[in-house]
Amino acid sequence: MQSLLFRVSVACDGSLAGNRGGSCSPCRQNAIVEVRKSFRCAAQAQAVETLPPLSAWVEQRGLPLRKLHVRPEEVEGELSLVVSQPTKKGQPLVAVPSSAWLTQQVVRTSSIGSLVKNLDAWLQIALFLLHERSQPDAAWQGFLDSIPAQPDVPLFWSEDELAHLEGTQLLSSVQGYRQFFEAKFAELEEQLFAPHPDVFPPEVYALDGFLWAVATVRSRVHSPLDGEDVALVPLADLVRHRRVEGAKWVLQMAGGLFSKAQALVVEAERDYAEGEVVTMDYGAPLTEADERKLDSQVLLDYGVIDTTGAQGGFVLSLELPEDDKYYDDKADILELNGLSEAASFVLRPNEEPSEQLLGFLRLINLSGQDCFLLEPLFRNEAWGHMLAPMSEANERSVYVSMMEGCRAALQGYSTAIDDDLRALRDAPPGSRLEKAILVRLGEKQTLDAVLGFFEERFDRIPSLEFYQERRLKRLGLLDDDGRTTYDSFFSDGIA
């Protein structure tokens, strides 16, 4: 029986991982509440002060707010887009032409452009934000004034605040992000900043500022303007996160039939009434094949959670052990079916484990007499057989490994589910404490549900239909009730 690896892999130009943090205490909780209150008040003050400059700035750039106005939110303290006239589903709420986007093309026309042109697009934009922020009369100052001085992403949480994520996959991801960005900063400091101190003065291009810039880029971009097409889009980046249908980013051609200019349209996905805040789901799948992002994944990049529509879960990462006697044969089967030797599966508290996950588990645990399916004769059909119970021994190995993995993961948290439910009732709405509790609660509820699923099915293993029975039925040697047809086969004189 193979052991399972319960962890999460986060892609950020590489697979990031980290260690768990320390424990929490009531005094730390009180400190978090006070820190959050202070941040909220400062952010609200900043939002109120920057509202006129932002409005005037977008007007100067030819972005009149016909259907919208901008206002600071009372709870989060950041700016939001509010509908100023009723808008029907499918209609644009605002269209921002590409001439108003902050892209790598904009960066290349700046004084730092020639020095950063070979960097990744997101990194070019991050360094440009620092450059513009240091200029007293910067062209992008009105936009910069609308950006919080400290994004609410966990990358900026204090050690006491991160302690409330103890045992979670999110904490490992946050630590991995920080390690990656610190390593990237050290690389830039050596290869770019130090050789050009006049262009990249150390008081501007310091680690704290760099972290602010990269977090700002990550927290304000969405598909389709991400990856190599990454762009910061004023106004459109003010759409708030909610798990319900609201609006979406859509690219459209602008400027006439023969123009190559584009515009980013914030399109209503439902009818909007006057006074409503424009929202979109930051975790929405991009294609039918994609998974909806978990709350922990949205919080990691954007610093927000929709408390009215929680999407908790756990990312289970599995690998085909390299010391498996049949490693090459199993790897071939995975490759034939578009899979690799390592795979991640999203588990959710209200969903049963997927057929693909169960198939992967059965293949990992395949041993003994069941390994006849690894022969070249069965190679093209083997994965299809993994999607249903193979044998009683194989199914038991799968269930036992999952139950042991879930129990071990649950023991890694410093609190129980009931503790989190009680703490959640007392957490200030919108606070970092509330977000941390929701994440760890979502992970634990998922693990508890998955554990219950396999415990319940474990008792029913003898009643399952396995490969040999399915094979005999296809040959007509077993009826649908599992009774042999040998007697009638001979009595009818067929053989």
Find the CATH number of the domain harbouring 176: 3.90.1410.10
Helices (H), 111-250: 113-116, 121-133, 141-144, 159-162, 169-188, 207-219
Q: CA-to-CA distance for 357 and 344, rounded, in angstroms?
A: 9
Closest by Cα among 133, 162, 149, 116 to 216: 149
**How many H helices and E strands in the chain?**
17, 11
- In the predicted model, residues of the chain with pLDDT beneath 70 are 1-53, 55, 64, 74-77, 255-259, 472-473, 475-495
**Does some domain include residue 33?**
no
What is the reported pLDDT for 5? 45
Q: Using N-to-C axis directions, what is the helix angle for 121-133 and 207-219, rounded to 10°?
A: 120
- Name the domain boundary from 231, 253, 280: 280
What is the reported pLDDT for 448? 98
What is the reported pLDDT for 210? 98
What total of structural domains would you count in the chain? 2
Residues 125 and 67 in one domain: yes
What is the reported pLDDT for 37? 36
Q: How far, in whole angstroms, is CA 38 from its chain's centroid?
A: 28
Residues 437 and 318 in one domain: yes
What is the reported pLDDT for 92? 94
Residues 413 and 269 in one domain: no
Q: CA-to-CA distance for 55 and 74, rounded, in angstroms?
A: 19
Residues 314 and 238 in one domain: no
Residues 276 and 299 in one domain: no
Contacts (Cβ under 8 Å, ≥6 apart) of 64: 58
- Name the domain boundary from 228, 253, 280: 280
Pairing outcome for strands 240-241 and 279-280: parallel
Residues 254 and 319 in one domain: no
Residues 235 and 369 in one domain: no
**Does some domain include residue 321?**
yes
What is the reported pLDDT for 475? 60
Residues 71 and 155 in one domain: yes
Q: CA-to-CA distance for 276 and 67, rounded, in angstroms?
A: 11
Residues 274 and 301 in one domain: no
pLDDT tens for each residue of 84-139: 999 999 999 999 989 899 999 999 999 999 999 999 999 999 999 999 999 988 89
Enclosing domain of residue 337: 10-17+295-474
pTM listed for this prediction: 0.83
Tallying the residues shown for the chain, one arrives at 495
**Does some domain include residue 463?**
yes
**Does some domain include residue 85?**
yes
